[in-house]
Amino acid sequence: MKTGVTSENRFENDRSRYEAYLETPEGRLRADLSFETVLEFLPTAAGVNSLQAIDLGCGTGAAAVRLARLGVHVTLFDSSRAMLELAQRASAAAGLSDNIGAQYGDAAHLADFFPAGSFDIVLCHNVLEYVDDPLGVLHGVVRLMRDSSAILSVLVRNQAGDVLKAAVQRGDLDRAEQNLTADWGEESLYGGRVRLFTSEALEAMLTDACLTIHGRRGVRAIADYLPLQISRSKEYGRIFALERKLGARREFFGIARYLQFVACRQTPGSEGEECAT
Q: Please give the average per-residue pLDDT across 86-105, as a whole number.
A: 95
- Strand intervals (E) in 46-183: 52-56, 73-78, 100-104, 121-125, 151-157
**What b/e readout covers 112-150, taking b as 16+ CB neighbours within 10 angstroms?**
ebbeeebbbbbbbbbbbbbbeebeebbbbbbbbbbeeeb
Determine the pLDDT at residue 21.
Answer: 83
Determine the pLDDT at residue 187.
Answer: 81
Determine the pLDDT at residue 4.
Answer: 42
Four-CA torsion 82, 83, 88, 91, nearest 10 degrees? 150
Q: Does domain 8-157+193-267 match CATH 3.40.50.150?
A: yes
Q: Is 0.85 surpassed by the pTM of this model?
A: yes
Q: What percentage of the chain has pLDDT greater than the value 90?
A: 79
**What is the Cα–Cα distance from 82 to 89, expressed in whole angstroms?**
11
Determine the pLDDT at residue 188.
Answer: 75
pLDDT tens-digit map of 4-51: 434 455 555 567 778 888 889 999 999 999 999 999 999 876 666 789
| Number of Cα atoms under 13 Å in the Cβ half of residue 154 | 29
Which of 184, 224, 201, 179 is closest to 7 using CA atoms? 184
Q: Which helix (H) or strand (E) holds 64?
A: helix 62-69
Whether the CB-CB separation of 129 and 30 falls below 8 Å is answered with: no
pLDDT tens-digit map of 158-198: 999 999 999 998 999 999 999 999 999 988 777 788 999 99
